Structure 1
Amino acid sequence: MENSNYQEKPNIWLSFKQRVKQLKSQVYILYLALRDPRTPLLAKIVVALVVGYALSPIDLIPDFIPIIGYFDDFIIIPLGIWLALKLIPEPIIEDCREYARTNPPGSKPKNWVVGGIFIFIWLAVIAYIVNFMLSPQ
């Protein structure tokens, strides 16, 4: 006997994988727009922050922290992409989309500069907590 309800439910895992693929594609398009000399300065600054954070091997909030660990992946990065796309003129975005379609990226580059900044922030927070706990009251 077939369970027809099973086939009617959307495949959440497949939709999640498609969303991740779309985000990766948008980050690549933004990377291309960052390198385009026609992109306005404000847009380049926002794009550099978004792409740098998206490619950083270290997250501001580590993923192993329950629930909020994925906050950056599901909220901050998509909002940054949305803002960056709003700041870049449409002809530049279309040119970058076309280039991305015909020249897909290789492996994802790592941005160790941004990763280093997050490591520094976490070390500073840990040092502050240790100092606070060890100082006499």
Structure 2
Amino acid sequence: MTLRTWARALKRDAHVVWLCARDPRTPWAAKAVALLVAAYAFSPLDLIPDFVPVLGYLDDLILVPAGLWLALKLIPAQLLAEHRAAAEAVAARPISRIAAGAVLAIWAAAAIATALRAWSAAT
């Protein structure tokens, strides 16, 4: 398995765990673990910030896969198969690069406008 395939599987499994956590048929223990793991996986905040050399990415490389493994073990197989199919359908949708570019252009324009306003106020 290549690194890219492994990363895509982790991303898909994080989505599967999130979907399972929101399903009322999921047992409460699995739901609690799934919510914690999905929240940590999708959160921009880390236990150890990514700018800390080596250790910053170590929590992402160890905690997320270990948490996903535990959550996937606790979720019933039938629910897992159902939500895995749903997650793969979402991943197969086309990505709009034009829309992404438009959003980036809006953010860049807002940042430039803010910088120009701050600079003109300072002078």
Q: Shared fold (TM-score greater than 0.5)?
A: yes
> Among 25, 28, 46, which residue is 2:33 paired with?
46
**1:28–1:105 CA contact under 8 A, matched in 2:** no
Matched residue, 2:71: 84
Structure 1: where are the runs of 5+ without partners? 1-13, 108-137
What does 1:41-120 correspond to in 2, within 5 Å? 41-104=28-91
**1:61–1:68 CA contact under 8 A, matched in 2:** yes
The one-letter amino acid paired with 2:22 is R
> Among 15, 24, 27, which residue is 1:28 paired with?
15
**2:50–2:56 CA contact under 8 A, matched in 1:** yes
Identity in percent: 45
Structure 2: where are the runs of 5+ without partners? 96-123
Summarize the Cα distance change of 1:93–1:59 in structure 2 as closer, same or farther, 3 Å threshold: same
Q: CA deviation at 1:30?
A: 0.6
Q: Can you list the C-alpha shifts for 1:57-80, whole angstroms capped at 9, x where unaligned? A: 111101111111111111000000
Number of aligned residue pairs: 94
**2:12–2:88 CA contact under 8 A, matched in 1:** no
Q: Which whole-Å CA distance do the structure 1 matches of 2:21 and 2:91 have between them? A: 16
Q: Which whole-Å CA distance do the structure 1 matches of 2:3 and 2:52 have between them? A: 20
Q: Which whole-Å CA distance do the structure 1 matches of 2:40 and 2:66 have between them? A: 12
Q: CA deviation at 1:19?
A: 1.7
Q: Which whole-Å CA distance do the structure 2 matches of 1:96 and 1:76 have between them? A: 22
Q: CA RMSD in A?
A: 2.0
Q: Which whole-Å CA distance do the structure 2 matches of 1:43 and 1:33 have between them? A: 9
